[in-house]
Amino acid sequence: MAHLTWTTRTRDGDDPTLPVCLPSDETIDLPPQPAPFVALPAPSERPWLSGFRVEAELGRGSMGRVYRAYDLMRKRAVALKVSSEASADARARVLAEAELQAQLLHPAIPRVLGQGALPDGRGYLLQDLVHGARSLSDAARGARQAHVVLWAARAAEALAEAHGRCVAHGDVKPENLLVDAHGRVFVIDWGVARLGRCERRSSARLSPSLEEFAERQGSWVQGTLAYMPPETLQGHPGPASDVYSLALSMVEAFGGEHPFVRLMDDANRVVKRVLYGPAVCPPAGLQPALGELLRRCLDKDPAARPTSLELAEGLRAFAGGTRPGPLRSRAGA
Ligand SMILES: Nc1ncnc2c1ncn2[C@@H]1O[C@H](COP(=O)(O)OP(=O)(O)O)[C@@H](O)[C@H]1O
Ligand SMILES: [Mg+2]
């Protein structure tokens, strides 16, 4: 088992008052990998935002595109997410994402730096750039099992911050769990996150017009089919669904492929498998304590799963390291 120690660092170019806990020996141990592909968008496709220079396209998903942009005033790179359409709904979706994400304060959740409408009517969200980002699956290839366990623990802590504010992410999957060049994990894409009702801590809020918009959106099942637990397919996603999806992402990271990879070209077969088939099993060969923890997270009954915080604690206990508080450094560091 890797010996894991923790130290405190600031994110490159970021507010130096915001420390981030890092597994110190993990920042140097990642296998060498080619730099992630970034495309230069054609000038006609490049969004225009005053004060920023759009430099490269970082990725695209169902909601829109994400660009690396340079903040000319603050002299640092940021991530700019732009809705695919200029419709009022597409704009509201990005603004709702920005409002919710802005209320989640955790080092493993990119900070929201701004939001609004571009001159062409598309909605945008400016956030911390995850430098050299790779998806959890890509980062896991060739990484030690202990890295994946710690990334998942960190992601579970970020989800616990959201769950404590009654926000369920709703689309946890390897592409939304980014590992940066230093080996730090970030939970991104809060675009289908939902506000639930809970009595714990203060709930996150949306402005009234976006609240109304979110109500309308809430009647749809949103997210990524391959990572949805049974209750999401039945229209009742919640925090426990995030725990399931994170565990499934770990199963994929450990096993090298999604457990339903051979069903993927037929959505109906995936749905039937999830609803009526046996629960997903962790890959053989995992240490029993880790396999058992994942098996509990993949229970078809959401009430039988551990909470995100229990998952984080279980993973940390498994990794054998001391569990750092979110902003605490190693003694003496
Ligand atoms: N903050 C970020 N830093 C670096 N890359 C990012 C960032 N946010 C998103 N990306 C890249 O853009 C892709 C799509 O972003 P995402 O927010 O998931 O969009 P969508 O909601 O359309 O799925 C991600 O999978 C990732 O590759
Ligand atoms: Mg996404």
- Over the stretch 104-147, which tens digit does the pLDDT of each residue have? 999 999 999 999 999 999 999 999 999 999 999 999 998 999 99
Instruction: Tokens for 216, please give them.
Output: 């309308």
Q: For residue range 20-72, what is the model confidence (pLDDT) as tens digits?
A: 333 433 443 455 566 666 666 776 678 889 999 999 999 998 889 999 999 99
State yes or no: pLDDT of 239 exceeds 60: yes
The number of CA neighbours under 13 Å toward the Cβ of 70 is: 5
Q: Which of 60, 65, 66, 81 is the pocket-test mutation for ligand 1 (most atoms within 8 Å of CB)?
A: 66
Q: Which of 128, 146, 162 is the last residue of a domain?
A: 128
Indicate whether 327 belongs to any domain. Answer: no
Indicate whether 265 belongs to any domain. Answer: yes
- pLDDT at residue 25 in the model: 35
Tell me the pLDDT of the chain averaged across its residues: 84
Distance of CA 66 from the midpoint of ligand 1 (Å): 6
Indicate whether 17 belongs to any domain. Answer: no
- pLDDT at residue 199 in the model: 65
Q: Which of 128, 151, 184 is the last residue of a domain?
A: 128
Q: Which residue's CA is the closest to the ligand 1 atom numbered 20?
A: 61
In this structure, are 116 and 237 located in the same domain? no
Question: Which atom of ligand 1 lies closest to the CA of 178?
Answer: 26
- Residue 168 and residue 155: Cα distance in Å, rounded? 13
- pLDDT at residue 217 in the model: 73
- pLDDT at residue 205 in the model: 85
CATH number of the domain encompassing residue 110: 3.30.200.20
Domain that holds residue 187: 134-319
Indicate whether 5 belongs to any domain. Answer: no
- pLDDT at residue 196 in the model: 82
- pLDDT at residue 120 in the model: 92
State yes or no: pLDDT of 306 exceeds 70: yes
- pLDDT at residue 2 in the model: 33
State yes or no: pLDDT of 151 exceeds 90: yes
Q: Which of 70, 98, 128 is the last residue of a domain?
A: 128
- Residue 191 and residue 95: Cα distance in Å, rounded? 9
Using alpha carbons, list the distances in angstroms from residue 138 to 34, 84, 91, 176, 208. Answer: 11, 26, 31, 12, 39
In this structure, are 256 and 278 located in the same domain? yes
In this structure, are 105 and 139 located in the same domain? no
The pLDDT-based confidence of 8 (bands split at 50, 70, 90) is very low
The pLDDT-based confidence of 197 (bands split at 50, 70, 90) is confident
In this structure, are 139 and 81 located in the same domain? no
Side chain identity, residue 326 = P
- Residue 44 and residue 196: Cα distance in Å, rounded? 40
Indicate whether 11 belongs to any domain. Answer: no
Helix %, strand %, coil % of the chain (to 5): 35, 20, 45
* Share above pLDDT 70 across residues of the chain, in percent, rounded to a whole number: 81
Q: Which residue's CA is the closest to the ligand 1 atom numbered 1?
A: 129
Q: Which residue's CA is the closest to the ligand 1 atom numbered 11?
A: 59
Helices (H) and strands (E) in the chain, counts: 9, 12
Distance of CA 176 from the midpoint of ligand 2 (Å): 5
Question: Which atom of ligand 1 lies closest to the CA of 66?
Answer: 12
pTM for this structure?
0.85
Mean pLDDT of 269-276: 95
Side chain identity, residue 18 = L
Give the pocket of ligand 1 (CB within 6 Å).
58-64, 66, 79, 81, 110, 127-130, 133, 175-176, 188-189, 191
More confident residue, 85 or 35: 85
In this structure, are 167 and 107 located in the same domain? no
How many structural domains does the chain have? Answer: 2
In this structure, are 79 and 97 located in the same domain? yes
Using alpha carbons, list the distances in angstroms from residue 71 to 78, 124, 232, 284, 289. Answer: 7, 14, 38, 47, 46
State yes or no: pLDDT of 235 exceeds 60: yes
Strand positions, DSSP E, the chain: 6-10, 19-23, 52-60, 64-71, 76-83, 112-117, 123-128, 134-135, 167-168, 177-179, 185-187, 194-195
In this structure, are 97 and 65 located in the same domain? yes
State yes or no: pLDDT of 204 exceeds 90: no
State yes or no: pLDDT of 157 exceeds 50: yes
Q: How many residues does the chain have?
A: 333
**Contact criterion met (CB below 8 Å) for 88 and 135:** no
- Residue 328 and residue 115: Cα distance in Å, rounded? 30
Indicate whether 35 belongs to any domain. Answer: no
In this structure, are 158 and 180 located in the same domain? yes
Q: Which of 57, 71, 81 is the pocket-test mutation for ligand 1 (most atoms within 8 Å of CB)?
A: 81
Q: Which residue's CA is the closest to the ligand 1 atom numbered 25?
A: 175
Question: Which atom of ligand 1 lies closest to the CA of 130?
Answer: 3
Q: Which residue's CA is the closest to the ligand 1 atom numbered 19?
A: 61
